[in-house]
Chain A
């Protein structure tokens, strides 16, 4: 049995990706199971899904704890050591990132493959949804399933023209994936950011939710307090002495309301460096 873990963000289609893999496996006469991590998903928050593939019907119902393969759909989450947590020694991690495998900083005993699925998705689908774009790379580097099976499965989920576009993304990532090579960094770093978000309550740091980060030009700011009043997370704090805002970044989810509302365009939403 092969166990796979997928990492994505709420709204990016990680769960669909897990089901496409499971469908492709069944196309090849294998049995499969696609499991989402249940919780109240939040748009933009990191989430996890799992797949099991076996030659017999899968009986286990526990979650996947030691996957052979980890697939990361989001380039920011791809930087978190947590994506290779409990990966079986000798396993493989496939990252959506523009960096080549040699420049990946995740540490441990596993192979690393990378593909810039975001760019591929933007160019073939017009949107940065990477759940299908990464599956061609998956077929190539794992050799687990034929890319034709992936394409057949995609047609079941995305009929017609949409299916064709997604298959184009699959073909490209099959060709463009780099690696796998043995991870350059041998040891896992001691600290780790928790990227699983489930349930309710107060979080410690939501920086990983941001694809864009607000940056304030305090010179332009006229002190109207608009950004401060409209931030749902009180990430924008107000310095009453200076009469200017400052940002508590660990509370900022990058929604962009502040930038959109600022009457003098003093806030810019800057793409987070990937």
Chain B
């Protein structure tokens, strides 16, 4: 096992190599750009049996990996912001077709170049698993785990792993690089299900047929398959820790210093890291607020939050995106998860980091103070733009 001080984008490229991806395709867009270069260099160096397809646009890159996955190659693509929006159309085909494509989304808010989560958040309807990670090590580890989860026969759903552009993509941190041999043992080769090779295909599938049957069933089946990610992700996190010695909570959420907490801040991505520093500070001052870092947005850890509710009086939800006219996605989904419970903790909505706005330790201290005040019955506005 070795390590390197590397930028987030390199961590992503390193995961692609460790996973022995067979076909990757991407179109350069800030701040994802350097991934396309790393992969091209890896291809040119012949580091493993790898094909990187330089394409003319993001939509094409999604269809390339979709088709390649269908035929039997392990695939990877990556993009940011507008590039993700551009490939929205074929993304839903990848989802509906149950292809285990893994994609890194280097967050770029679509109202600018700097990071926020509007890019991946606006793709909720494409039928993929959505994860958000905090630091470069987690990028590498999460991408590896994404392959294992996506390709699991119980799942077969594409997974997008998002990480904040600039802040992570271009900041260098020490990253431990797992042994290739260990990864090979842990991540078996990919087999397409079903096969579309002429000598293996099931002839009864030739005719597309009439439709007929209940047109709602494909949606129900897809929905249930995405929900299945929770079980498999938790299992995969256990096996990842066993093999590689690291874990991130249970995969769906990562609680931080929540043992004696009365309130929790919920955040995703790099700002969760900043929040950890704030939590350390606040707890040293005797403030009983911790962090529940949200890793999996789809499927949403309903069960985990319902369990935590028993011990908590308040949730401060920090959304790094907003659906105009609707509100913050994590805030809405959390409240929906708590609706049927008898005990309803106070919930506050914070918008932070949109448009790439810097979120600082003292911002989280303010958030911590507010939720603690609200949880004790104090009057606090429900929505705060940090």
Contacts and interface: CB of A to CB of B under 8 A. Distances in A.
Q: Do chains A and B touch in the complex (CB under 8 A)?
A: yes
Interface of A: 198-202
9 contacts: A198-B210, A198-B211, A199-B208, A200-B208, A201-B207, A201-B209, A201-B210, A202-B206, A202-B207
A202 B209 CA distance: 6
Which label, helix, strand, loop or mixed, suits the secondary structure of the B interface?
loop
Interface residues of B, number: 6
A268 B53 CA distance: 55
Contacts of A199: 208, 210-211
A123 to B, nearest CB: 39
A202 B206 CA distance: 9
Interface string B206-227: 1111110000000000000000
Contacts of B209: 201-202
Given A198-B211, A200-B208, A201-B209, 6 more contacts: A198-B210, A199-B211, A201-B208, A201-B210, A202-B206, A202-B207
Nearest to A197: B210
Nearest to B208: A201
Contacts of A198: 210-211
A232 B206 CA distance: 19
B216 to A, nearest CB: 15
A49 B235 CA distance: 54
A199 B211 CA distance: 8
Interface string B175-218: 00000000000000000000000000000001111110000000
A202 B210 CA distance: 8
Nearest to B212: A199
A200 B209 CA distance: 7
Contacts of A200: 208
A201 B209 CA distance: 5
B100 to A, nearest CB: 27
Nearest to B209: A201
Interface in B99-145: none
A200 B211 CA distance: 9
Contacts of A202: 206-207, 209
A199 B207 CA distance: 12
B287 to A, nearest CB: 56
Contacts of A201: 207-210
Nearest to A202: B207
A165 B210 CA distance: 40
Interface in B257-278: none
B377 to A, nearest CB: 49
Contacts of B210: 198-199, 201
Contacts of B206: 202
Contacts of B211: 198-199
A200 B207 CA distance: 9
Contacts of B208: 199-201
